[in-house]
A and B are shown apart, each in its own frame.
Chain A
Amino acid sequence: ILNVEQSPQSLHVQEGDSTNFTCSFPSSNFYALHWYRWETAKSPEALFVMTLNGDEKKKGRISATLNTKEGYSYLYIKGSQPEDSATYLCAPNRDDKIIFGKGTRLHILP
């Protein structure tokens, strides 16, 4: 069973501040890792797919890093904005299965 842990579960951040959160997963048989953003009343939206140890991806103010040897990925948001309020899901692809974490719920405070 693939155990995907995301922390923290919930996070309140002041607008303009930067933040980061973690996804950890078993490192064996790793194939890829997906990050999704899920805003309320919308569809989950793919942010990144990462495959190589040491990968770093960036999309605007959001970036992510990947360590496949120790089994973790960090998502960073620089200069948080109200539109960043969402649940951020990570989903490792391992042994032909994609398993979603419970997500980190991010609230941006005005």
Chain B
Amino acid sequence: EAEVAQSPRYKITEKSQAVAFWCDPISGHATLYWYRQILGQGPELLVQFQDESVVDDSQLPKDRFSAERLKGVDSTLKIQPAELGDSAMYLCASSLGSGRRSYNEQFFGPGTRLTVL
């Protein structure tokens, strides 16, 4: 069964360091999402891609976070420099949907647990 792949599964870093997370969506899925989930909260959308284009990054802290999906397939989320408050689960999801107004099912990866010391 096709799955969304993410790596690493766990990352421990010191504040002010740079970190990067990778996501490989299900083949053929045009839409890719990055979420951040802080303990006790629901997943919060950071960025949404339609193919290689960003369609929503309104909640992405652009002073330190960046995301790219250069060939419209896999994606990288980077934080530089990391801060203590960035400790969270970072989830990637993909869906078939084309366009923002879609109720297509999202398929999630296992997430990357980031701890910033």
| Residues of A that sit less than 8 Å from B by CB | 4, 31-32, 34, 36, 41-46, 49, 51, 89, 91, 93, 96-103
Contact = CB atoms under 8 A, between A and B. Distances in A.
B88 interface: no
B91 interface: yes
Given A43-B109, A43-B111, A51 B103 contact: yes
A31 B103 CA distance: 8
Most B C-beta atoms less than 10 A away, residue of A42, A46, A99: A46
B71 interface: no
A44 B91 contact: yes
A51 to B, nearest CB: 6
A52 B100 CA distance: 19
A93 B110 contact: no
B42 A34 contact: no
Interface of B: 3-4, 35, 40-45, 56, 91, 93, 100-103, 105-111
Contacts of A93: 102-103
A93 B101 CA distance: 8
A51 B105 CA distance: 12
B25 to A, nearest CB: 12
Given A43-B110, A44-B91, A103 B103 contact: no
B99 to A, nearest CB: 9
A16 B35 CA distance: 34
Contact of B108 (A44, A97, A99): A44
A102 B41 contact: yes
Nearest to B33: A98
Given A44-B91, A97-B56, A102 B106 contact: no
10 contacts: A32-B103, A34-B103, A36-B108, A41-B110, A44-B108, A46-B107, A96-B100, A99-B45, A100-B42, A102-B40
Contacts of B41: 102
A5 B77 CA distance: 29
Contacts of B91: 43-44
